[in-house]
Structure 1
Amino acid sequence: MGDVAIDKDGETMRRVIDMRSDTVTKPTDTMRTAMANAEVDDDVLGNDPTALRLETEMARIMGKEAALFVPSGTMGNLISVLVHCDVRGSEVILGDNSHIHIYENGGISTLGGVHPRTVKNNEDGTMDLDLIEAAIRDPRGALVYPITRLICLENSHGNTGGRCLSVEYIDRVGELAKKHGLKLHIDGARIFNAATALAVPVDRLVQAADSVSVCLSKGLGAPVGTVIVGSTNFITKAKILRKTLGGGMRQVGVLCAAALVAVKENVKKLEDDHKHAKLLAVGLNKIQGLHVDISAVETNIVYVNICKDSSTNAAKLCKTLDEHGILVMPDDDYKVRIVIHHQITVNDVEYTLSCIQKAVTGALSEHVE
């Protein structure tokens, strides 16, 4: 196929392959129908039947007592940290390359008075257990130190390329947390990707966690929302904080209906997303001037490095591809981030590889309207 596509009315339109993130998916026809027909009520009053159905189903799937729908992953993580660290000046141990620490506006500190204590993330997204334990404050020093209350993990780990934390590793962190009387929260924005890649039931993967935030609008392809899961007591406190933060919405069943479709239909598509990411990674690695660490492509995220003696860089490559309808994002001056989702086909991957090959060699220069 070329740089054009045909819409359902037979009209020619510019072909767009959007791989900036897995957050860019459009609601499917099934989702739109479910949204239009959703049974709704006031969720702040606890009466929206579709929201209750989603929360009950997600709690069951994740093996936890209860769940709560929130507008975003950032809010889900913030609420979770604040519930566990309910005394201002508490401390959370988390990765120095984690989403909570880097991309969530410092909300745990700004809004919750929670102090972050970072531990170095390894290339596979883990933190060394001995470093985690060393970061836990001695409670006898409470006069001068913040009190450690929580450990946070991220699975899959976005900034390391969607790497997966194993059941064994999470269990060991959970044991460490219990040993010191701490809670464990998992930022599971792409937890279903991790479970799929590891071939582990998702409830087993998060068994050691006291709470998990599960994004519905990344790999699962829903238009909006995250669900946080945990004990009944945890969710009761989380619901109060959701209202405080402005996340209590009314007829939210319209959004939850799409999320229910996403959970039912798109979890099983994640394996194909991973296969397409690997196909893309292998193809990119064959292009002179580019390098991908194939072993690091475990899920749906591909980081491609551009050799510094190349005739292009990340910004130039992204701009050239954009002109031809392929949307990807620069990660730094010589690195590009590409994310596969359920609306990216094998044909899209093959066409993208063809365009990148031409862009890198300078053959892709004609601007296409």
Structure 2
Amino acid sequence: MTYYTPPPRDPKASPVRINLLSDTQTRPTSGMREAIARAEVGDEQIGDDPTVNLLCERVADLLGKEAAVFLPSGTMCNVTATLVHCRPGDEILAHESAHIIAREGGAHAALGGFQITPLNGPDGQFSPATLRAALHPRSRYQPPQTVVSVEQTANIGGGTIWKKADLDEVVRIAKSNGMATHMDGARLLNACVATGISARDMAAGWDSAWIDFSKGLGAPVGAAIAGSRDFIDEVWRWKQRLGGSMRQAGICAAACVYALDHHVDRLAEDHANARALARGLSQIQGVEVQQPETNLVFFKPDGAGISGDDMVRGLRQRGVLLAMMDGRIRACTHLDVSAGMIEETVGLVREIVRGV
């Protein structure tokens, strides 16, 4: 299954004016750049960077954990977490479209020798019943089932939000079977803003959880993972082994602190723009749209007589950047996308459909 296809390169295409490819496409705001310039820094690797230390304290408190560590990427958060939770030959349970399966280059198998068993379910989520059915008795004939992982929100599932009750039940099942729990929280704060549930409550019961700063929060780089002090000590060991330890990383952490202060509540604007985009697209005959719960909009124009690839290509020629993912077009709203851009995008899709 192909989960992501980069937009085709076309020398005749207009310069990109509307970038809906991903919320990773955000650029630092002027306020964030000023915060970066003013950042107090030190040697992060020996615990001497005050801005990194502040960020880690903020994230640990936000997620209700004992400690946190700043890492260069969300992928490194996932990889270091499984390297701590598991031993070679262990089994991880996750949804079949989860980032740790679809988007991390086989890192968990290559670096840790772990087996990830895919669980199915609609919209990027497996049910507690599906989890129960995947469990097997402890036996020397089968790998130890060590970790249950969820992705909040479910990216390829359409940015869907795991219900708190389901998260709690997954934790209960995992714990009763001696398994650790890991939350890929790349867009966790989108879920929190959409539901009104705090990040602390959403991550309650999860042994490890992390948030990404380079998506909707608009920082240029970085993520932070939180858990118990012992867990974070071991994550630090893997951070060192993998070359993730940094020096004057406060210039990066300052952007993340600024994002926590200024860019969390405004995620609601991205959700509103996503709903507006879905509403406009659904009014175009032949366009099938998955109604968004957060900032991701998936749609298919096949019923209008045009393939997704051709639609993406046509929009790129008009200066609008989107991507094909899992056979559908994905549009992702973020702080660099305005309501006017959404309206223009809908108009351009309608124009392309009319020209078919």
The one-letter code sitting in structure 2 at the alignment partner of 1:82 is: L
Q: Deviations over 1:267-326 (max 9, x none)?
A: 0111111111001001000012211132xx100000011125x34212221122112211
Distance in structure 2 (CA, Å) of the matches to 1:15 and 1:190: 25
Distance in structure 2 (CA, Å) of the matches to 1:56 and 1:361: 54
Q: Is 2:191 the partner of 1:190?
A: no
Unaligned runs of 5+ in 2: 1-13
Q: Deviations over 1:104-128 (max 9, x none)?
A: 11111110111112211x2233212
Q: Is 2:341 the partner of 1:348?
A: yes
Q: Is 2:125 the partner of 1:132?
A: no
Query: Where do residues 301-320 of structure 1 align in structure 2 (5 Å cutoff)?
Result: 301-308=296-303, 310-320=304-314
In the alignment, which residue of structure 1 is the partner of 2:115? 115
Shift of 1:15: 6.4
Distance in structure 2 (CA, Å) of the matches to 1:215 and 1:176: 27
Alpha-carbon RMSD across the aligned residues, in angstroms, is 1.5
The one-letter code sitting in structure 1 at the alignment partner of 2:93 is: I
In the alignment, which residue of structure 1 is the partner of 2:332? 339
Shift of 1:169: 0.7
Shift of 1:342: 1.5
Distance in structure 2 (CA, Å) of the matches to 1:126 and 1:327: 27
Contact kept, 8 Å, 2:16 with 2:321, in 1: the verdict is no
Q: Deviations over 1:169-203 (max 9, x none)?
A: 11111111111111100001000011111121111
SS in 1 for 2:337: coil
Q: Is 2:308 the partner of 1:324?
A: no
In the alignment, which residue of structure 2 is the partner of 1:99? 99
The one-letter code sitting in structure 1 at the alignment partner of 2:343 is: E
Q: Is 2:275 the partner of 1:274?
A: no
The one-letter code sitting in structure 1 at the alignment partner of 2:101 is: H
In the alignment, which residue of structure 2 is the partner of 1:243? 240
Q: 1:178 to 1:311 in 2, by over 3 A?
A: closer
Distance in structure 2 (CA, Å) of the matches to 1:35 and 1:293: 38
The one-letter code sitting in structure 1 at the alignment partner of 2:109 is: S
Shift of 1:51: 0.3
Distance in structure 1 (CA, Å) of the matches to 2:115 and 2:78: 15
Contact kept, 8 Å, 1:166 with 1:205, in 2: the verdict is no
After TM superposition, the score normalised by the length of structure 2 is: 0.93
Distance in structure 1 (CA, Å) of the matches to 2:178 and 2:336: 44
Shift of 1:68: 0.6
Q: Is 2:154 the partner of 1:157?
A: yes
Unaligned runs of 5+ in 1: 1-12, 364-369
Q: Is 2:354 the partner of 1:357?
A: no
Distance in structure 1 (CA, Å) of the matches to 2:311 and 2:148: 39
SS in 2 for 1:20: coil
Shift of 1:14: 5.6
Contact kept, 8 Å, 1:124 with 1:164, in 2: the verdict is no
Contact kept, 8 Å, 2:207 with 2:228, in 1: the verdict is yes
Q: How many residues matched?
A: 343
Give the percent of matched residue pairs that are identical in Structure 1 and Structure 2. Answer: 35
Distance in structure 2 (CA, Å) of the matches to 1:83 and 1:136: 21
Contact kept, 8 Å, 1:137 with 1:146, in 2: the verdict is no
Distance in structure 1 (CA, Å) of the matches to 2:15 and 2:125: 42
The one-letter code sitting in structure 2 at the alignment partner of 1:317 is: M
The one-letter code sitting in structure 1 at the alignment partner of 2:154 is: H
Distance in structure 2 (CA, Å) of the matches to 1:94 and 1:322: 34
SS in 2 for 1:292: strand
In the alignment, which residue of structure 1 is the partner of 2:10? none
In the alignment, which residue of structure 2 is the partner of 1:174? 171
The one-letter code sitting in structure 2 at the alignment partner of 1:105 is: G
Contact kept, 8 Å, 2:301 with 2:311, in 1: the verdict is no
Distance in structure 2 (CA, Å) of the matches to 1:315 and 1:130: 36
Distance in structure 2 (CA, Å) of the matches to 1:331 and 1:97: 11
Shift of 1:135: 2.1
